[in-house]
Amino acid sequence: MSWLQSRFYQFSPLVHTGAEASSAADMVFITEDLIRRRAEHNNCEIFSLEEISLHQQDVERIQHLDKWCRELKILYLQNNLIPKIENVGRLKKLEYLNLALNNIEKIENLEGCESLQKLDLTVNFVGELSSVQSLKHNIHLRELYLVGNPCAQYEGYRKYVVATLPQLKVLNQ
């Protein structure tokens, strides 16, 4: 485990137990109000929003974006507490998804993101290298960042990813 991962692990509420653990009452949700506040550059109009930054909000679950923000092309969700990639499959126009510095353990549920070109999963907990196969259907995917994940430590990791995803032009650069 890298220094950065160990620091992240140390302070992440999702990996603690007991008194330090976050309760359901403390959970931060993606709400319409949060999206509107972060969409000031678009006159707070969320339905035509093409880019939104929800980084460092302590968000614990991806939700509602696939219903309210169908035009999204760029989605920044880095440095949150997200354990699972979910509820983004209907974002057909999404080109860039940044989920760096979260608690993601598996690459999944991105098949519907038909326009996805860049996926950043830097410093997460992706240990299941075979989950990279779920990105085979993302034929426009050109950049993938997995630095700081347990799967990046496996022998033959680069060779496996490149063979599985021949459409990639950039892996961890």
Q: pLDDT (tens digit, 9 = 90+) per residue, 52-72? A: 999 999 999 999 999 999 999
Q: Please tell me the predicted confidence (pLDDT) of residue 78.
A: 98
Q: How many residues are recorded in the chain?
A: 173
At 27, which CATH number? 3.80.10.10
| Structural contact between residues 92 and 118, judged by C-beta atoms closer than 8 angstroms | no
Q: What is the model's pTM?
A: 0.84
DSSP state of 113: -
Number of domains in the chain: 1
Low-confidence ranges of the chain (pLDDT < 70): 1-26, 173
DSSP string, 43-106: TT--TT--EEE-TTS-B-S--SHHHH-TT-SEEE--SS---S--S-TT-TT--EEE--SS---S
Q: What pLDDT score does 148 carry?
A: 98
Alpha-carbon span 27 to 21, nearest angstrom:
11
Residue ranges making up the domain that contains 27: 3-171
| Full strand arrangement of the beta sheet holding 118-120 | 51-53, 74-76, 96-98, 118-120, 143-145, 170-171
pLDDT reported for residue 14:
43
What's the rounded Cα separation, in Å, for the pair 99 and 88? 12
pLDDT in the model for residue 25: 56
CA 167/CA 139 separation, integer angstroms: 6
Predicted local distance difference test score (pLDDT) of residue 10: 44
